[in-house]
Amino acid sequence: MKRTNQLGAALLVVMLVSMPGWMVGAQEPQDRLPDDVSRVTREVSQEIYSPYCPGKTLAMCPSANAAVARMDIQEMASQGMEKEAIKAELIARYGEGFEVVEPPPEDNAKLLGSILAGLLVAVVAVVALARRRRGGDGSAELGADEGSALEEGDELDEDYLDELREDYLS
């Protein structure tokens, strides 16, 4: 008996989950919050070119007609319309003068590659300039021959100075 009750409850849950929304009492889409309306209005206004100001989006166009179009966008957004539906409605209302701004392709791999290549070139340039400034190949270590030559040079300098002192003082 317990097993039958569990099976019945599971079947009821599956039926409720699979029913269309209107059958389980889903509500109509509600109006958006003012923040959402502002965001959608701004985004749509920035994604559509204005026919009243060539080369500018609705958001940048100071024309009174563009302001009317922005108010229409705000009204549609407050009614709960999605961005794409608002764009389609604007084009249907005002004609083909409203063109949708094509978003740039999102190719992050190329962007990252370009940044890394630029960084590599900058590092190589800094290293090359540092070596050039030091003079020669930029080697900081002195070989055994160079070190001993300097020590001999120091001894020769001291000997030479001693000779000069003797000549001068005599």
Ordered by where they begin, the domains of the chain are 26-119 (1.10.8.640)
pLDDT of residue 147: 53
162 has a pLDDT exceeding 80 = yes
**Any idea which residue has 């084009």 for tokens?**
91
Residue 127 or 29, more confident: 127
Query: Residue 6: pLDDT band by 50, 70, 90 thresholds?
Result: low
Instruction: Tell me which residue of 105, 103, 69 sits closest to 87, measured CA to CA.
Output: 69
Q: Give the pLDDT confidence of 104-157 residue by residue, as tens digits.
A: 566 677 778 889 999 999 999 999 999 888 875 545 555 555 555 556 666 778
Query: Residue 87: pLDDT band by 50, 70, 90 thresholds?
Result: confident
The verdict on pTM exceeding 0.85 is: no
Q: Give the pLDDT confidence of 50-71 residue by residue, as tens digits.
A: 888 888 888 888 989 888 888 9
d(CA 35, CA 24): 30
90 has a pLDDT exceeding 70 = yes
Range scoring the smallest mean pLDDT among 23-32, 83-92, 110-119, 159-168: 23-32
Burial degree of 108 (CB within 10 A; 0-12, 13-18, 19+): exposed
User: Distance between the two ends of the chain, CA-based, in angstroms?
Assistant: 130
Positive or negative CA dihedral for 54, 60, 61, 66?
Answer: positive
H-assigned helices in the chain: 2-18, 34-46, 64-78, 83-94, 108-134, 144-169
d(CA 69, CA 56): 14
Q: Which amino acid is at 165?
A: R
pLDDT of residue 122: 94
Query: Residue 80: pLDDT band by 50, 70, 90 thresholds?
Result: confident
Decide if 92 contacts 79 (C-beta within 8 A).
no
